Each structure stands twice: as structure tokens, then as C-alpha cells.
Structure 1
Amino acid sequence: MKALVCHAYGPIENLRVDEMNAPVAGRDQLLIDVMAASINFPDVLMVQGLYQVKPPLPFVPGAELAGTVSAIGEGVEGFRIGERVVALTGTGAFAEQCAVDAVNVAPWPAPLGFDVGASFVLAYGTSLHALQTVARLQAGETVLVLGAAGGVGIAAIEIAKVLGARVIAAASNADKLRLAREAGADETVDYTQPDWRRAVETLTDGRGADVVYDAVGGPYTEPALRATAWRGRYLVVGFAAGDIPKPPLNLALLKERIILGVFWGEAMRREPRQHAANLRQLTEWILAGRLRPAVTERVPLEGAAAAMSRLASRQAMGKLVVLPREAREAGR
């Protein structure tokens, strides 16, 4: 089979597409024919050796996928050959086939495309967990979303709107802000502009945002924390800007702001029933048309490294999806 392989930690452009032996379904595993796999920011960090998880080399990156079951390992029940599924893999998704622990696989409804399925679980699972479980977002509250045109940013906008909140989207240019509005944002702010937090305060009549969703970090964190309301909740989701910020903690004291970490992967492990309930809820919403993952690019395996580089440099918008079997399927 073909796969995108990381042979050494380092520059993304060193990744290459190789022929390798197909995996087999071990005990408690499914073998999945990968129809689509989305690129996420942890993938970008992992191949550079900058992520907290460092897989043994060589490895195939890619943390989530959608496809069809092609083999069922010993001990697995409830799945059938040919069934459409989505899966969280950690690694291995940027390949024509992937062996996945069955506990991390869920059915995917036929009306929905594989590209949507591959863009769904991680971004929307993270955002629902952050806003509903961690922040306890209430209808009528205002949410400020940083990095609003990225995969998790779009998911946060859509979920906040479903939960009845008002959304202010913050991003770095007009195209990204337009995409955020298309996703349902009520207001937008360009956070490359000087003193942009004043715009947030103006839009909230001086109160600030009740909840801030920060998947960006870097220089944007301190002004966003300053734009958080009295007893507002600040969600630390990620650091796409590259730098882990160190905001003055007196900013939390002055308005009794609450800084909350969001570690969806660990929460999923500790609270599997809650994760399953969240996934069912998200699937219902997407079937009802209330959520619409913004898939903006679809590339073959040969284009995956370049797409990862675009995500790393923050040139990408929405979700970038790899189609590992596209060329082979087209030739049949």
C-alpha cells in the first residue's frame, strides 16, 4: 500500500510517499480502507518532533480518518465488512489502509461524505467538550473564538451557535473572517490590528466575552484575556501560533476570570461514556444540517506534505483532507 512516511523528525518537506506492507487487524482491532483523512495541527507538530507524543520512527502520521471496514480482528463485535466508519487513530491515517482499535471507531451515516467524516470527530469533539463540559456555556452568553477560520475554530463557532450563544470570531485577514461569518459568527474582529481587544469590548458594551476559546496562544492570549468579562471563562485549547503564552495572573484576579485547560484526548479516556454521548449528539446535529464542517481542500497523498506546510504556516482555512485512495480508485 502507499503511505506518507516520516523517517526522521524534522522539516515537513522531508516526508515522502512510500510503498509499504499493509497493516493487519490485530486483536480488538479493525482494518479500514482509508477514503479520507484530515490534517490536524498535532500532525504538523508530531512530524517535527515538537509534540508531546513522539512515535517510534519511521511512522505514518494522521490522527483521524473515514473509510470502510475491510477486516475484523479477533474479539471485535458490532461491525461488519464494508461498513462506513470514522476513527481516531493517533497515527497511521495518511495511508491507503490503517489498523485501528475498535473502541476508537464509530459508524458513519451513509448520507454524509467521507471527507466530512474525516473532518468531524477531533475538531467537533474538542469544541463540544470545551464549550459544553468545561466552560458550561449558557444560551445568551458571548463567546470569543480565536483562530476562527481553522478547523476547531469553525467547529467552535457552529457549536456555540447551536448552544444559543452569540459569537465574535477573531482571525487574521478578510478571507478568514468571511469564512467565520459563513459558519455563523455574529461579529468579526481582525486580531492583527492594534488594540483589537477594544473592538471586542465595544461589541460587548464594555463587558467583555463570557467565554474565550483560544486555540492559538502566542501574542493573542493576553489581549484576549483582558477582553474577558467579569468571572468569564478562558479556555486554553492549543497553541497554533507556536509560542506558549505566559499572561500576568493578576488579569485573572482583577475580574475573577477563570482559566480552564481543555485536554479532550485525556477527557475522552477518563470519561468514555460522556465522549460517546457527545459523538451521538454531534452526529444528530450534523444529520440535521446544524453543523457543516468546512472542507476547503482535498489533496492526494502526494500533496499531503505541502498541505501540512500550509497549515503550519497558518495559510490554510477550514479543514484540509487527504484522499489516500483517490488515484488508485480512479484507475479502476
Structure 2
Amino acid sequence: MRAAVLHAAGSPDAFDICEVDRPDVGPDDVLIRVGACGVSFRDVVERNGTYKRDVSYPLIIGLEISGTVVEAGALVEDLQIGDRVCTKAFSSCGRCNLCRSGRETTCSRRRPVRGGYAEYVALPQDACVRTPADMPFEVSCGLGPSAGVAVNAVRDVAHVSIGETVLVTGATGGVGVPAVQIARAMGARVIAVTRSEDKRDMLSAIGAHEAVVAEPDAFAREVRALTDGRGVDVVIDTVGSRVFDAAFDSLAVHGRYAMVGQLYGENIAINPARIFFKRAQILGVGSVSRVQLEDAIALTASGVVQPQIARIMPLEEVAEAHRLVEGGAAAGRIILKP
């Protein structure tokens, strides 16, 4: 099968498009013929060496996978040949205390999903959730690491409620877009932040009540002005360190700061007094559970979540796809079709 293989961390040109063996299928695995694979920022930081967890070479990356089950191991019970599926970002054991108490995203035996930059990928059945037969692969491929994580952040961690004001950073990104859509559907007022004036119209189209166009460290004053000086009830931060100061300054007293992403390698520094004087809650979001992904699929099927697709590209253009995502040039998802 054809695959885009990394032999070491590097630039977008580090990918080697070559023929490799189809992966072996274990008793708990399914073999998926890849229909589409989104290019996520986790792919970018794995490729460039920033993200090192469980990384070894040679490596086929790609976690936003959708496709068709073509083979199933002897222990697979929930999926059948011919099922259309999309993936979580990891598989969990399903047996430990964390898994059995609804905290599977922190399972100590979790294994990352990778391998979507290829014609076929073998994954544990736990990592895969069935999708409707009429849902295009280009739509379903990113639902786990994008809409599913947004469900986790907006509904289950930040507990957004009707009438609150929510600030979303990186609002045109993979998690940002569904976070805007879900927060609006829950009755919140949504302020979306982007660096590009060209993306303002997109933010209005996906449901943002206001769009703030500013550099990462310079949007707090405008957000305060939009809220009559009060600030926002909730921050959904999909960017991380480079926007932290401005996003925290935008937070109202008793606000909740949900940290979803960290796209860069630097640390942040904060005087603890800023947290307790504001009575702020800083909340870690993490990944997506099976239930959250199932809910994200249902929200997409009903039209609440509407993934924005910028380009669909062949596997041979993976380097260009990474340049687009890393540079933040695309308004919407970049999708590979292996």
C-alpha cells in the first residue's frame, strides 16, 4: 500500500511517499480502508518534533481517520466488515478504574491513533465509532479530534449555559469551529478570535456573534469593550501559551478557562494572585471519549456541527497540506485522500 512515511522529525518535505506492507490485524483490531484523513495540528507538531509522546521512527502519522472496515479480528464484536467508521485520538483498555468511571481519556494503557496517511490502517476496535452510511468521509474524518473535543470542552468541562458569553481562541481551527457552533447552539453569546481579517466572514457564517481580529497577545481590550468591561464567562482556548495572557485578561470574575490546545513549545508564567483574585477556574480538557464522539456524530448529522473544509488533497501533496496547516493559511480543514 502507499503511505507517507516519516523517518525523522523535520520540515513538511520530510515525508517519503512509498510502498509499505499492509499492517497486521490483531484479534482486537479492525483493518480500515482509509476514505479520508484530516491534517491536524497534532500531526504538525509530531512531524516537526515538538510533540514527542510515543513517537518512534519510521512513523506513519494521521489521527483524523474515516473509512470502511474491510477486515475484523477474532475478538471484534461491535464492528462488522462494511461498516463506515471514524476515530478517536486514542484507544483505551476499557477495564481500568479510569475507563469504568467515565475517564477513559486518561487511561494509563491508552494508545495513540496514528496511520491515516496511508491506504489502510489497523486500529483497536475501541478507537473506532460507526458513522452514518450517508455521511461523507471528508466530513466524518475529523469529528473525534475536533467536534468531539469541542463537545468535551464546551459541554462537559466548561459547562457552558444559556446566556453566558464564551470566547473561543483559534476559532477557525479544527476544534475552534465546532466549539463556536456548539456554544451558540447551547444558548451562549460567542466571541471568536482569529489573526486574519480574511476569516471574519467565515466566523460569522459558522455562528460567532462577534469576531475579533488581532494578534495573539492583543485582543483582551477589544473583548472587554464588547462585554462592557466585564469580560467573558468562559474561555475555550485551542491555541495555548501564545494567547494565554490576553485570554486570561479577557476572563470575567468567577470565569472558567478551559485549556484545550498547546500549539507551541514555550511555557507560560502567571502570578497565582491573578487566579484567586479573579476566582478563576483553570480547567484541562484533554481528548474525546466514545460517548462524546457519538454525540459529535449526532450533532453533525443533525446540522448543529457543520465542518468547514478548505481543501481536499491527494496523499502526494502531504507536504503542501502541512505547510497550509502549520502556517494557518486555510479557513477550514485540510483533508488528505489516500
Please, what TM-score do these two structures have when normalized by structure 2? 0.89
| 8 Å Cα contact 1:229/1:255 also seen in 2 | yes
**Rounded Cα–Cα distance in structure 1 between residues aligned with 2:304 and 2:161:** 18
Counterpart of 1:271 in structure 2 is none
SS of structure 1 residue aligned to 2:266: coil
- Percent of residue pairs bearing the same amino acid type: 35
Q: CA RMSD in A?
A: 1.6
Tell me the CA shift for residue 242 of structure 1. 4.7
Q: Which moved more, 1:131-140 or 1:28-37?
A: 131-140
Secondary structure in 2 aligned to 1:9? coil
Judged with a 3 Å threshold, the aligned counterparts in structure 2 of structure 1 residues 195 and 277 are, in CA distance, closer, same or farther, namely closer
Residue number among 165, 168, 175 corresponding to 1:142 in the alignment: 165
Q: Residues 36 and 66 of structure 1 are in contact (CA less than 8 Å); yes or no, is this contact kept in structure 2? A: yes
Secondary structure (helix, strand or coil) at the match of 1:13 reads: helix
Change (3 A) 1:195 1:18: closer
> Residues 5-48 of structure 1, C-alpha deviation per residue, up to 9 Å, x if partnerless?
00112222111211111113211000000010011111111122
| One of 208, 212, 216 as aligned partner of 1:189 | 212
Per the alignment, in what secondary structure is the counterpart of residue 151 of structure 1?
Answer: coil
1:321 positional shift: 0.7
Alpha-carbon separation, structure 1, partners of 2:116 and 2:41: 14
Return the offset for 1:250: 2.6
Partners of 1:143 and 1:166 within 8 A in 2: yes
Distance 1:81 1:195 in 2: 51
Q: Confirm or deny: 8 A CA contact 1:226 1:251 kept in the other structure.
A: no
TM-superposed deviation, 1:184: 0.4
- Do residues 203 (structure 1) and 226 (structure 2) align? yes
- 2:30 paired residue number: 30
Partner of 1:297 in structure 2?
Answer: 311
Q: Structure 1 residue 283: deviation in Å?
A: 2.1
Structure 1 unaligned residues grouped into runs of 5+:
269-274, 325-332
Match of 1:133 among 126, 132, 156: 156
Given that 1:221 and 1:247 are in contact with CA atoms closer than 8 Å, whether structure 2 keeps it comes out as no
> 2:150 corresponds to which letter in structure 1?
S
- Map of 2:187 onto structure 1: 164
Provide Cα deviations, 1:185-237, integer angstroms capped at 9, x if missing partner: 00011122985312111111211010011111233210210110011011111
TM-aligned CA distance change 1:194 to 1:281, over 3 Å: closer
Distance 1:194 1:158 in 2: 24
Corresponding residue for residue 215 of structure 1: 238
Q: Tell me the residue number matched to 2:139.
A: 116
Letter in 2 for 1:162: A
Q: In structure 2, do the counterparts of structure 1 residues 220 and 56 end up closer, same or farther at CA, with 3 Å as the change threshold? A: closer
State the AA in 1 paired with 2:138: D
Partner of 2:71: 71
In structure 2, the partner of 1:310 is 324
1:210-289 to 2 correspondences below 5 Å = 210-264=233-287, 268=288, 275-289=289-303
Partner amino acid, structure 2, of 1:236 = M
CA contact (8 A) 2:151 2:292 kept: yes
2 CA distance for matches of 1:193 and 1:29? 42
Q: Between 160-169 and 245-254, report the one with greater CA deviation.
A: 245-254
1:221–1:193 Cα change, 3 Å: closer
Work out whether 1:51 is the aligned partner of 2:51: yes
Give the counterpart letter for 2:167 in structure 1.
L
Equivalent-residue separation in structure 1 for 2:242 and 2:21 (angstroms): 44
For 1:99 and 1:12, the matched residues in 2 are separated by: 25
Q: CA deviation at 1:241?
A: 4.8
- Structure-2 change in CA distance of 1:193 and 1:15 (3 Å): closer
2:130 pairs with 1:107: yes
3-state SS of paired residue (2:221)? helix
How much does 1:176 deviate?
A: 1.9
> Which is further off, 216-225 or 33-42?
216-225
Q: Secondary structure at the match of 2:175?
A: helix
